[in-house]
Amino acid sequence: MRHEFRVTVGPTGFRIGSDWKQPLDRLAALYRGYPAPEIPDFTVRLFARRHWRRIVRPSVTIGGDYMLPDAAPLSLAHGLLGAEMGMNLQMALGQRRYLLLHASAVERDGKAVLMTGESGAGKSTLSALLGERGWRFMGDEFALIDLETGALHAFPRPVSLKNEAIGLFESDVEPCRLGPRMCDTPKGDIRHLRPPDDAVERMAVPAKPALLLFPRFGHAPDVRDIGEAEVFVRLTQASTNYVALGEAAFHALSTLVQTVPTRAIDYPDTQSAIDTVERLWAELAE
């Protein structure tokens, strides 16, 4: 392919090929300082389905080792999103070494808080905010659980901030940590936020899961227990590779559920959420 970019995130190496230079230049800026793999785990391709689509009304089709049959192509302006989606897809469909949970995670003193739930629940934004407030950011999208040890491995990618969340960071972080503003994407406006330097430097350092939260945004503050069986079911629904990993995943997940304290938390605003996380951490994880 015409252009290539390689990057290692946590334990996984990616090779991204592209028919256009621009998306890869933007990727390189967001991933500055990350290591690069000699042999990648996964290949992503951003390509023009018809050769003339490279130039005339450029249309980016996402491909790679694993592909979806009906994926709609993106405009070149959103090519960076295409690369991110391509990487997500490889992880979601191809990750076979770690149990993949759709969750964000931050770490302190070798222990981690995991936050999981539906889109819009705020787990991504919360993890980014905590990462700016003394916690080590481990990831906002994928949490990787070691099948043998149960340890959590970091997967710290630039956080995809959407719509109002963008405003929470724009004035507080150095401008070079923010990617271009992409408007009118299927999810609204998006800007990427580079993780803090320590998150990148320590991305190979795992942590022990110590608290599991199911946050819900836009409600009066509340904290609730959840039954273990329900937690188990909800986590399998938050995993794309639970079935593929067989008994090892069953063991890792049931151990996680039995050993890690879990709470559902409702919050009206991010400060309230952060306060609740700190309080529960002191109560349950320390």
Partner 1 sequence: MAADPVYRADPPEARRVIALDGVALIFHRPSGLTHIVAPPAPQILDALTEGDAGAEALLDRLERDYEFDDSQDLEAALEARLAELETAGLVWRA
Partner 2 sequence: MSDARLLIRALTDPASTAVLDADGWTALIAMARGEMLMGSLAHRLDGLALPETAARLCADALRSADHGRRQALWEAEMTRRVLSPLGEPVVLLKGTAYVAAGLSAGVGRSIGDLDILVRRDALDAVERALIDQGGWEWVKEDEYDDAYYRDHMHELPPLIHKDRDRMIDVHHTVLPLTAKPTPDAESMIAESAALEDGLRILSPPDMICHAAAHLFADGDLAGGLRNLWDIDRLCRDFGGRDGFWTALGERADRHQLAGPVARALRLAETLYDTPVDGDIAGRGRAGDTLCVRRLLARDGWGREAHKGLRLAFYIRSHWLRMPPVMLAKHLWTKWRKD
Instruction: Tell whether residue 174 is a contact of partner 1 (CB under 8 A).
Output: no
Q: Out of 26, 45, 102, 177, name the contact with partner 2 by CB under 8 A.
A: 45
96 makes contact, choosing from partner 1, partner 2, none, with CB < 5 to 8 Å by partner type, with: partner 2
**Residue 41 binds partner 2, judged by CB under 8 A:** yes
CA dist 272 and 142 (Å) reads 24
Selected binder of partner 1 within 243, 269, 271, 286 (CB under 8 A)? 243
How far is it, in rounded angstroms, from Cα 97 to Cα 83?
Answer: 22
User: Can you tell me which of 7, 10, 30, 43 binds partner 2, judged by CB under 8 A?
Assistant: 43
Tokens of 268: 């009206």
Dist. CA 202–CA 5, nearest whole Å: 22
Query: For partner 1, what does the binding mask look like between residues 55 and 74, x meaning CB under 8 A?
Result: --------------------
One of 22, 35, 53, 65 touching partner 2 (CB under 8 A): 65
Residue 267's DSSP bridge partners are 217
SS3 state at 235? helix
Q: Name the token pair of 3.
A: 């252009």
Using the rule CB under 8 A, is 255 a contact of partner 2?
A: no
Contact map string, positions 74 to 103, toward partner 2, x by CB under 8 A: -------------------x--xx------
Q: Of 77, 155, 148, which Cα lies nearest the Cα of 112? A: 155
Q: Nearest Cα to 81, choosing from 131, 120, 26?
A: 26
CB-count exposure of residue 78 (10 Å: 0-12, 13-18, 19+):
buried
Residues 6+ apart with CB under 8 A from 53: 59
Cα 139 from Cα 155, distance rounded (Å) = 5
Could you give the count of Cα atoms lying within 13 Å of 144 in the half-sphere of its Cβ?
Answer: 23
148 binds partner 1 (CB under 8 A): no
Using CB atoms within 10 A of its CB, is residue 53 exposed (0-12), middle (13-18) or buried (19+)? Answer: middle
Binding mask 192-231 toward partner 1 (x if CB under 8 A, else -) reads: -----------------------------------xxx--
Q: Is 251 in the site for partner 1 (CB under 8 A)?
A: yes
Pick one of partner 2, partner 1, none as the site partner of residue 254 (Cβ within 5 to 8 A by kind).
partner 1
Least Cβ distance, residue 85 to partner 1 (angstroms): 29
Name residues whose C-beta falls within 8 Å of residue 227's C-beta, 6 or more positions apart in sequence: none
Closer to partner 2 by CB, 51 or 57: give it. Answer: 51
Task: Report in angstroms how near the CB of residue 157 gets to partner 2 at its nearest.
Answer: 19
Single-letter amino acid code for the residue at 75: S
Q: Which of residues 134-163 bind partner 2 (CB under 8 A)?
A: none
For residue 237, the partner it binds in partner 2, partner 1, none, with Cβ less than 5 to 8 A by kind, is partner 2
Binding site for partner 2 (CB under 8 A): 1, 13, 15, 17, 37-41, 43, 45, 49, 63-70, 93, 96-97, 118, 230, 232-234, 236-237, 239-240, 242-246
